[in-house]
Amino acid sequence: MHYIIVDLEATCWDRATQTERKPNEIIEIGAVCVNEQKEIIGEFMAFVKPILNPTLSDFCVSLTTITQEQVDNAEYFPLVCSNFQTWIEGFDSAYFLCSWGNYDKGQFRHDCLLHNLPIEWLENHISVKHQYGKIRSKIGLVGMGKALKAEGFELEGTHHRGIDDARNISKIFIKYFEKWKY
Ligand code: AMP
Ligand code: MG
């Protein structure tokens, strides 16, 4: 079994000023692969070119630091998703997707359905956030930043960049490796 710690970034708008709700669409897939020996044995990072709202909002650029040029030069979701799945299968056909909360699974589902792609590959998934909240019940349901702090880990890289978020989540994943329920 291999564990794919994945974090997505998506198009977004400032919720305080947003008048009409627009659908979020993936703009980055960041992931690390952890083996049974608790080692990070690979990383995946790719930007994705969105189709519904191809122009990033200033809010989105500022939140994620992902630029318009980076998404303009990226491939569309079907190719990136296929590359991601090929990368996963290169380790093992038996895997669990692990993310901080259920957002990432839902966003993957949304974008797969948008592009008429299968969703069964998302089935094996755990929310590290919800399980962490039970394991460390005094801390409870918190954002990744708070959890890192509580565990004495540095938030390395840029928060809200998929690859950096995935690397940071993997620290918590590895620390409590024996505790996760699948
Ligand atoms: P995260 O993994 O926390 O970086 O968030 C994933 C995605 O959720 C971001 O790329 C945004 O699309 C959305 N998001 C996160 N935080 C906010 C926020 N404060 N306002 C609007 N959208 C957000
Ligand atoms: Mg993120």
Average pLDDT over residues 112-125: 98
Cβ < 6 A, ligand 1 pocket: 7, 9-10, 12, 15, 24, 63-64, 160, 165
With beta carbons less than 8 A apart as the criterion, state whether 29 and 48 touch: yes
CA-nearest residue, atom 10 of ligand 1: 9
What's the pLDDT tens digit per position in 31-69? Answer: 999 999 999 999 999 999 999 999 999 999 999 999 999
CATH number of the domain bearing residue 148: 3.30.420.10
Average pLDDT over residues 87-102: 97
Q: Which pLDDT does position 172 carry in this prediction?
A: 98
Q: How many domains does the chain have?
A: 1
Q: Please name every residue paired with 40 in a beta bridge, in sequence order, or none if there are none.
A: 34
Pocket-testing residue among 70, 160, 163, ligand 1, by greatest number of atoms within 8 A of Cβ: 160
pLDDT at 25 over 90: yes
pLDDT at 1 over 90: yes
Average pLDDT over residues 142-154: 98
| Minimum-distance ligand 1 atom for the alpha carbon of 64 | 10
Q: Which pLDDT does position 104 carry in this prediction?
A: 98
pLDDT at 92 over 90: yes
pLDDT at 91 over 90: yes
Q: How confident is the model at residue 18 (pLDDT cuts 50, 70, 90)?
A: confident
What percent of the residues of the chain are helix, what percent strand, and what percent coil, each to the nearest 5?
40, 20, 40
Cα–Cα distance measured from residue 117 to residue 102, given in angstroms and rounded to the nearest whole number = 19
Does this model's pTM top 0.95? yes
Residue span of the structural domain in which 17 resides: 2-179
